[in-house]
Structure 1
């Protein structure tokens, strides 16, 4: 009875957690494909899920930060989507590779040529961006999601420090500290740098497996010895009882 009550309580708690966390899955988010180091370049994916069950997502607009403009913004071509890149004059020109940049991309719009993102699915929209600012810890991208029934959901609310997440949070990209010599690298260079790390992780995993196998063998031998000792003791005790 006690076990069944605990199981029921656990199931109820799990359901409550899922219920509370479910809306978070519907948010438009920005996810880097590699470490977004300050001063460097990175490919980011704007992940757009369709939480509706009666309409498709047919248009996605992502507004790029104007307080920390990005001189290089290149979206990846996606089948079934038309891409429009909007550039605007900067109030304060920025310098990149020794050249002054007076305009930058302020918005990228993806418009579906067909069905768009159907209910129960999501779509990633990759964009190569850089150079990332060296004087900021994060970048905020405000996004608008338009559905086939003309409804528009605005993911534009910025979460205040120490406050609960807003109902329609804006996608936020957290920036990592720049490493020596990596501040002005490229997205391709970052991807290449990730290969040795992956190989190291694989080697480490293999080493851990070998260590686990050795431990298992030792425990197996110990188990056999203990078992043999138990059998011997049982036989000895049985003989003593028979003699008695």
Structure 2
């Protein structure tokens, strides 16, 4: 293969890679995610979980979000934060075996939490919303996997319910998940009362995180666009070199 042909093929590959990067960054950020802002979530403690829900449909708005709690590692209490235009419903299920929480016997666990939009309210195309949930005590497990069901206007339903892959690869419809630190580490799990204070203190963190997310998305798009432009420039340069060589050989 000649040097010029190799350079030309490399330019085409670079353009394709740039387009894939540009499109891939947008798709990767489109699913429902869960974050713990501020102190790390700790096994046995209480924490506030923020579910970020982007609207990925270009024609319909999101009008409902259902988050399911794992049955094998139950969470026994949850509180929702009031949201204008949305109503929240917490569903409980009877435990096969009661558990002790702060000396009290608990016979029920959280099965699911559902947020439903009132008439005239929705997450519009191109927008996102955040739903906050205070939960605890957190179970003794390394991570809390919480499948989410997103419902759009018109009845379209998207299930974000696939657990993390063992090889670390992201599945097509990943479930929201948070990591839990072992009990006893220097992360203050707190109590139900302290969670309310933590929620108030972390409001500014939420705003900063949302702004940072927007900046990261912009940076990814600009980076991908820069790669595409650079690759196109390489292609034009190769073309100019080939034309110059042809002109020289003819003369």
1:96 aligns with 2:73: no
Q: Could you tell me which of 30, 35, 42 is aligned with 2:34?
A: 30
Change beyond 3 A, Cα 1:63–1:191: closer
* Higher Rg: 1
The TM-score, its normalising length taken from structure 2, stands at 0.68
Equivalent residues of 1:33, 1:42 under 8 A apart: no
The CA deviation string for residues 142-173 of structure 1, in whole angstroms up to 9 with x for no partner, is 11100002110011111221153221111111
Q: CA deviation at 1:39?
A: 1.5
Q: CA deviation at 1:18?
A: 2.5
Superposed counterparts of 1:74-93, under 5 Å: 74-93=79-98
Superposed counterparts of 1:118-129, under 5 Å: 118-129=124-135
Aligned to 1:170: 175
1:21 aligns with 2:25: yes
- SS of the equivalent of 2:151 reads strand
Aligned to 2:121: 115
Distance 2:14 2:172 in 1: 28
For these two proteins, the number of residue pairs brought into alignment is 191
1:187 aligns with 2:191: no
Q: Which runs of 5+ in 2 are unaligned?
A: 1-7, 203-251
Distance 1:44 1:53 in 2: 27
- SS of the equivalent of 1:127 reads strand
Equivalent residues of 2:48, 2:199 under 8 A apart: no
The CA deviation string for residues 81-134 of structure 1, in whole angstroms up to 9 with x for no partner, is 01111111011222110111100221111110023100000010000011112x
Distance 2:41 2:187 in 1: 14
Equivalent residues of 1:83, 1:109 under 8 A apart: yes
Distance 1:41 1:101 in 2: 16
Where relative contact order (Cα < 8 A, 6+ residues apart) is larger, the structure is 2
Cα root mean square deviation, aligned: 2.7
The TM-score, its normalising length taken from structure 1, stands at 0.70
Equivalent residues of 1:31, 1:46 under 8 A apart: yes
Q: CA deviation at 1:26?
A: 1.1
Q: Which runs of 5+ in 1 are unaligned?
A: 195-244
